[in-house]
């Protein structure tokens, strides 16, 4: 466990000084986001993009629809996984575990 903490802390320091390591971290988060978005079918993905583009002009029903789509991709698991990827220390499993 201590070895993991030391290794992750060293990676965090290196990410600040090595731009390619930052790029790698961003790529890992993008792959993670892709895994979560794949839980939507193509029609739902298109609809989600439409709803996001609507922005503040969205009606109550459209906001509820967007909320349901976001719930389907498990936003908590996505954010937890991204935080775990970028964090220099291990995070608790209850924060990083996806529902599926």
Question: Does residue 8 carry a pLDDT above 70?
Answer: no
Six-digit token string for 87: 């964090």
The DSSP letter of residue 89 is: S
- 97 confidence band (pLDDT: 50, 70, 90): confident
pLDDT number for residue 59: 95
The DSSP letter of residue 12 is: H
Q: Which residue has the higher pLDDT, 66 or 3?
A: 66
What separation in angstroms does the CA of 97 have from each of 21, 59, 73, 78, 80? 24, 32, 13, 9, 7
Q: Which residue has the higher pLDDT, 22 or 56?
A: 56
């Amino acid at each position: 466990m201590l070895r993991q903490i030391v290794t992750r802390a060293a990676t965090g320091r290196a990410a600040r000084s090595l731009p390619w390591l930052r790029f790698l971290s961003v790529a890992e988060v993008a792959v993670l986001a892709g895994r979560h978005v794949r839980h939507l079918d193509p029609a739902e993905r298109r609809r989600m993009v439409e709803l996001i583009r609507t922005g503040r002009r969205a009606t109550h029903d459209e906001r509820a629809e967007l909320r349901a789509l976001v719930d389907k991709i498990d936003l908590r698991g996505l954010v937890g996984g991204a935080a775990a990827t970028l964090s220099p220390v291990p995070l608790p499993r209850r924060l990083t575990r996806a529902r599926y």
